């Protein structure tokens, strides 16, 4: 293993992720253990540890490390929990979730992303993550509730049926609102519905069918 790669990985964690208030040691360990460079598109491998969103195609991106760290920390998946991820992308975030949780189901709408991520996860010896091809805003449906749900693309507003996909007391972490001032939120399912806590501002591409409604001007 290249010493330069390990130095870049350590710098990513110590100079980017940790200073952005990602202090959960389990999360930091997952980001250090999963070989990010193996999940980056080949054309951007030299930027694997940069503080950048990396293009994946279809207008999708691999989220920058600091944002991945904050989302993982907000979701706080535990070893006994079942996690639903919306947006597999490269599979890196999936692998991190799988290292933290008991079981991960990841839903991705692009077939080539599913195929590539499945191969990467297999090569990384990730055996507790299952990938499904589907579009989660309108058509895909969960058959049972999860303890945790994490959405890796933005939505203008949370689809109402998503609340049914997490068990009572479970949590949903997503990015909502209008670009360029979207906000990450953590929602906990209560008897009265979803109790929402705002976490931080960010800006990422929208999931398909989750964009703001078109506005017509004269």
Q: What is the CATH number of the domain that holds 87?
A: 3.40.50.150
Closest CA to 107 of 84, 79, 139: 84
Q: What mean pLDDT is predicted for residues 9-31?
A: 98
pLDDT tier at 3 (50, 70, 90 boundaries)?
A: confident
Residue 214 confidence (pLDDT) = 78
Flag whether 41 is in a domain.
Answer: no
Question: Which residue, chain included where needed, has tokens 């009265």?
Answer: 192
Closest CA to 76 of 160, 147, 6, 17: 147
Mean pLDDT of the chain: 96
What digits encode the pLDDT tens for the residues 74-105? 999 999 999 999 999 999 999 999 999 999 99
Lowest mean pLDDT among 109-113, 180-184, 191-195: 191-195
pLDDT tier at 198 (50, 70, 90 boundaries)?
A: very high
Backbone angles phi, psi at 90, to 5 degrees: -75, -20
- Contact status, residue 176 vs residue 185, Cβ threshold 8 Å: yes
DSSP letter at 202 equals E
Flag whether 5 is in a domain.
Answer: no
How many other C-beta atoms lie within 10 A of the C-beta of residue 144? 9
Q: Note down the domain range covering 114.
A: 66-202
Report the alpha-carbon distance of residue 69 to residue 65 in Å, rounded. Answer: 6
Q: Is 70 exceeded by the pLDDT of residue 218?
A: no
Flag whether 10 is in a domain.
Answer: no
Domain count for the chain: 1
Flag whether 36 is in a domain.
Answer: no
Q: What mean pLDDT is predicted for residues 100-118?
A: 98
Flag whether 79 is in a domain.
Answer: yes
pLDDT tier at 1 (50, 70, 90 boundaries)?
A: low
Flag whether 86 is in a domain.
Answer: yes
Helices (H), the chain: 3-11, 25-33, 65-75, 92-100, 111-123
Q: What mean pLDDT is predicted for residues 119-133?
A: 98
Flag whether 6 is in a domain.
Answer: no
Residue 2 confidence (pLDDT) = 77
pLDDT tier at 216 (50, 70, 90 boundaries)?
A: low
Q: What mean pLDDT is predicted for residues 206-215?
A: 90
Flag whether 192 is in a domain.
Answer: yes
Q: What mean pLDDT is predicted for residues 116-144?
A: 97
């Amino acid at each position: 293993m290249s010493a330069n790669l390990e130095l870049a990985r350590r710098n990513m964690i110590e100079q980017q992720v940790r200073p952005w208030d990602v202090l959960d040691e389990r999360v930091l360990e997952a980001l250090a253990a999963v070989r990010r460079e193996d999940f980056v598109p080949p054309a951007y491998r030299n930027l694997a540890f940069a503080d950048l969103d990396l293009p994946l195609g279809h207008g999708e991106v691999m989220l920058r490390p600091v944002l991945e760290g904050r989302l993982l920390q907000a979701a706080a998946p535990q070893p006994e929990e079942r996690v639903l991820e919306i947006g597999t992308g490269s599979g890196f975030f999936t692998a991190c979730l799988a290292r933290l949780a008991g079981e991960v189901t990841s839903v991705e709408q692009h077939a080539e992303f599913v195929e590539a991520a499945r191969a990467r996860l297999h090569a990384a010896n990730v055996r507790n993550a299952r990938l499904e091809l589907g579009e989660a805003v309108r058509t895909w449906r969960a058959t049972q509730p999860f303890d945790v749900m994490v959405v890796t693309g933005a939505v203008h507003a949370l689809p109402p049926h998503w609340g049914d996909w997490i068990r009572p007391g479970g949590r949903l972490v997503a990015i909502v609102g209008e670009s360029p001032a979207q906000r990450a939120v953590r929602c906990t399912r209560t008897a009265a519905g979803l109790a929402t806590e705002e976490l931080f501002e960010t800006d990422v591409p929208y999931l398909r069918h989750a964009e703001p409604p078109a506005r017509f001007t004269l």
